[in-house]
Structure 1
Amino acid sequence: MNQQDFELRKAVAAADTTRDVVIAADGLGAVPAVLARAAPARTCAIVADDNTWRAAGARLAEVLASAGTGTASPIVLAGRPRVKPDAETSHGLAMRLSADGLLPIAVGSGVINDLVKHAAEEAGTAYVCVPTAASMDGYAASGAALREGGFKRTLACAAPVAIVADLEVIANSPATMAAWGYGDLVGKLVAGADWIVADALGEEALNAGPFAMVQDNLASWLGDPAGIRARDRAALDGLMRGLVMSGLAMQAHGNSRPASGSDHQFAHLWEMEEVTVDGEPVSHGACVGIGCLSMLAAYEWLQRQAVESIKPASLAARSASLSALRAEVEAAFPLSFMAANAVAETAAKAASPAQVEQRLRALRDNWPDILGYLRGRLPKAAAVRQWLEMVGGPSQSAAIGVSPQKHALDYARARMIRRRFTGLDVLHDLGWLDRAVGDLFAAGGFWGPARAAA
């Protein structure tokens, strides 16, 4: 057993729900044995959409039939241009599963996995995941990112009992999907930094095990963007392992903190607003990649400031009241459903001036250690932009349908949609968020006209 297989096995042992992970060139052939271990004597049903049925569902049905595995008729979900991540769809699927006592096998990528995960939870059954692309990190994660009443939220539900990834299926998926997965994985750079900061400021203690599951091998998993674009099997294996390990880390910790920070706050904002390019919704991973660049650039800006010289009491005295925060949020979100949820999330992490002062003192006192982490573990935003270009993903906000003007405003808006404490909140506590954004979008700044056109 090589080191990466050993670490994967350790991560599975630490996971809350998932008990079997196979990532192999002939993964589909392993599904009957995995089902026999994970869910013996259960009647299974493949759940796919039109595309994933053609990519892997039909072949998996043949494998299961040849092995004598009990299967019901497949459930092929329809949607144009693609199936939507709506909770209403998962409710209907749950009714079908429950009525026939079926164990679902999710054959697909992000949306199919989230729909089946949530439906299985409602139906009171386990499920098995067969990814068809290395496109996102949610395969092994607890919780499903679905829309309820238009607002995208993570709904509580268990992760799959087993995951079987066939590298040939992964390699034959559209190349853009691996670029999406790479964007999702690169966001872990920022997630790690955000957690380090939250721990140092007393907001959320670091959990060393799940943190290490993601961060220790992240540089290796991200190290061959050109190979991923060229469908190199070893590079895709690393990408898939990184995405699955991120999900297992979330299981081990009990929430998404090990793999989701301010990078995902940008992404969730844009996904809720349904940003499109040429009429097509932009993928989660593409949004996370731009969110990651947004925060890498912000953290670089912060490193250049004299944080060690701040006066916490003076800065904290300028903190906005809860009523002022509410007014700011409502003005930032003209759509009522988004405003109501953003107000609730912002209020949940609102702090008194005394609490802000305490956080800023911790920031100042711990700044040498924080700065050491940022300089030692975060690559430059310009380098990550090149990685995203090499893998074939977007590297400018305009490429995901977000104008520079909107992007600049969204630094503040992204902070408001989640209660999780991140680097955006540090800049807000300092009163520096607007100045940071102004510098980043000015001529010569990371998102400035000259740089953006480069």
Structure 2
Amino acid sequence: MNAAQQTIAAGLKVSRSIAALELSAGALAKAPGLLTSHFGEAGAFLIADGNTWEAAGRALEAHLRAAGLAVQAHLLPAKPKPKPSVELAEDLTLRLAATSATPVAVGSGVINDVVKYAAFKLGRPYLCVATATSMDGYTSAGAPLSEKGFKKTIQCKPPRAIIGDLDVLRLAPRAMSSWGYSDLAGKIPAGADWIIADDLGVEAIETRSWGMVQDHLHDFLSRPEDVARGNGAAIEDLFAGLAVVGFAMELHGSSRPASGADHQIAHLWEMQDLALNGELVSHGSCVAVGALTALQLYDWLLQQNIAALDIEATVSGARSLAQKTDDIKRIFGSSEIGARSIEETRLKHVETDMLRLRLSRLKATWPQLAERLRRQVLKPAEFTAKLRAAGAPAAAADIGVDTAYLRRTVLAALYLRSRYTILDVLDDTGLLETAVSQLSDGRETSGRAA
């Protein structure tokens, strides 16, 4: 058993929902046995889009029919790309309700998330057939979906069984593998965010889920060039790394082990339908730039003399909840995003006395905290090199985001989640706007066209 298989086996031991994960070459041929042993004889209802049908759906159908199993299929269009929305998931719920067949998600992010939601609504377990190493959601209990324009993670249940056929995964578009690499790389700044929350007494690190994500993270990220080439072993390692993140999120009961400011930045672009050359920018590409941005903020913070922070002046100049609410309304207007951001911000806002205590703790523990953060993060230049080697966007300009838009996004992303991140510690210390003013779109260093 290689390292990838050992990682998956360890994840299966802690999962309350996932009974099997078959990651091997030719794994599609094992679908009939997995289906009958874990779901019974009711047959399969395949849900795919035009691309994932050609990648795996057609062959999957043939294997199932050859085994004498009943098969139905519903295909979404490949273009325009399906959007991960509650509305689409509700439509699939109605379609699945009309049959007793086992739901089978044939695809990656969007397909898996909408089927996960629909199956959960019906109280029905489902089978996931992965078609790309493009994200960490195959094994997670959460379904990140937009509802009325606001993207949120809805807690559901992971699939009961997962098939990752390495012959399919290694032939996925190279860009999709880079998205998965970026999603996994985002756990570096997400881990730093959790360290800050832990140190300041906001949210303690839960050691089991932390270790599942972080203990071997740099090993799984160590071969970006091979990921870009579609090397089978590198793709297997990447899938295993992404899978264990999902297991950790299920264990923890939230996305905290995997998501921080990087995803807040990314989700805002996704909610705004960020597009480049007529195509929506992928989640993984948004996370690549979100993670790099978070690391640039960490790099800036770690150069500051926090020991010299004037706590009383900072507390005196801190914005009230009313002022933050006015800022949210200015940025988002009366939209659903604005309404949800007000609620999320209310949950994490602290008043004068609590802020004073928090800043006092930050100042007192800063030498030790700074050392913990330096061990966790990568320098932006090193992170950029890894992204480029994997074929991922390595600057905001690469996804069509200019400097002004990047800075607006980061300032607005502060409000999207109640989760405490680098954005919050910068805001609490009165340093956020100064730090953000140092960000640029990277056009001068990216080496790519915007």
Fold similarity call, TM over 0.5: yes
State the alpha-carbon separation in 2 of the partners of residues 203 and 89 from structure 1. Answer: 36
CA shift at 1:205, angstroms? 1.1
Aligned counterparts of 1:428 and 1:380: Cα–Cα separation in 2: 22
* Counterpart mapping for 1:55-204 below 5 A: 55-68=55-68, 70-78=69-77, 80-204=79-203
Distance 1:385 1:29, change over 3 A: same
Once the two structures are overlaid, the 10-residue window that deviates more, 338-347 or 224-233, is 338-347
Normalising by the residue count of structure 1, what TM-score does the alignment of the two structures yield?
0.95
Partner of 1:40: 40
Measured after TM superposition, the shift of residue 365 of structure 1 is: 2.3
Moved more, 174-183 or 348-357: 348-357
Partners of 1:264 and 1:357 in 2: how far apart?
Answer: 28
Match of 2:269 in 1: 270
Query: For 1:6 and 1:399, how far apart are their aligned partners in 2?
Result: 36
Q: Are the equivalent residues in 2 in contact too, given 1:262–1:423 (CA < 8 A)?
A: yes
Q: 1:144 to 1:254 in 2, by over 3 A?
A: same
In the alignment of these two chains, the number of paired residues is 448
What is the distance in 1 between the residues matched to 2:332 and 2:402?
17
**1:72 to 1:451, Cα distance in 2 relative to 1, 3 A:** closer
Deviation string for 1:124-161 (max 9, x for gaps)?
10111111001111111112111211221112211111
Deviation at 1:451, TM superposition (A): 4.3
Cα distance in 2 for residues equivalent to 1:94 and 1:117: 10
> Deviation of residue 16 (structure 1)?
3.0
Matched, 1:5 2:9: no
Report the Cα distance in structure 2 between the residues aligned to 1:260 and 1:29, rounded to whole angstroms: 34
Offset, 1:258: 0.5
Report the Cα offset of residue 362 of structure 1: 2.1
Do the aligned residues in 1 keep the contact of 2:65 with 2:71 (CA within 8 Å)? Answer: no
TM-score (norm 2): 0.96
Determine the C-alpha separation between the residues in 2 that align with 1:131 and 1:418: 29
Unaligned runs of 5+ in 2: none
Residues 149-174 of structure 1 deviation map (CA, whole Å, 9 limit, x = unaligned)? 12211122111111110111011111
Match of 2:305 in 1: 306
Structure 2 residue identity aligned to 1:223? S
**Distance (whole Å) between structure 2 residues aligned to residue 334 and residue 47 of structure 1:** 37
TM superposition shift of 1:335:
6.2
- What is the rounded CA distance, in whole Å, between the counterparts of 1:176 and 1:7 in structure 2? 25
Residue 419 of structure 1 and its aligned partner are, at CA, apart by 1.1
Indicate the residue corresponding to 2:331 in structure 1: 332
Tell me the secondary structure at the aligned position of residue 172 of structure 1: coil
- Shift in alpha-carbon separation, 1:71–1:335, aligned structure 2, 3 A: farther
Change in Cα spacing, 1:403 to 1:439, as seen in structure 2 (3 Å) is closer
The residue number in structure 2 matching 1:444 is none
CA RMSD of the aligned region, Å?
1.6
Q: In the superposition, relative to structure 1, how do residues 65 and 449 fare at CA in structure 2: closer, same or farther (>3 Å)?
A: closer
CA deviation vs aligned residue, 1:176-222 (integer Å, no higher than 9, x gap): 11011111111000111111111111111101111111111111111
Unmatched segments (≥5 aa) in structure 1: 442-446
Q: What is residue 383 of structure 2 aligned with on the other side?
A: 384
Per the TM alignment, residue 336 of structure 1 is displaced from its structure 2 partner at its CA by 2.3
Does the CA contact (< 8 Å) of 1:95 and 1:123 recur in 2? no
User: Take 2:76 and 2:297, find their aligned partners in 1: how far apart are those partners?
Assistant: 41
Query: Alpha-carbon deviations, 1:414-434, whole Å to 9, x = none?
Result: 111111111110000000011
> Which residue of structure 2 lines up, in the alignment, with residue 287 of structure 1?
286
* 1:231 aligned residue: 230
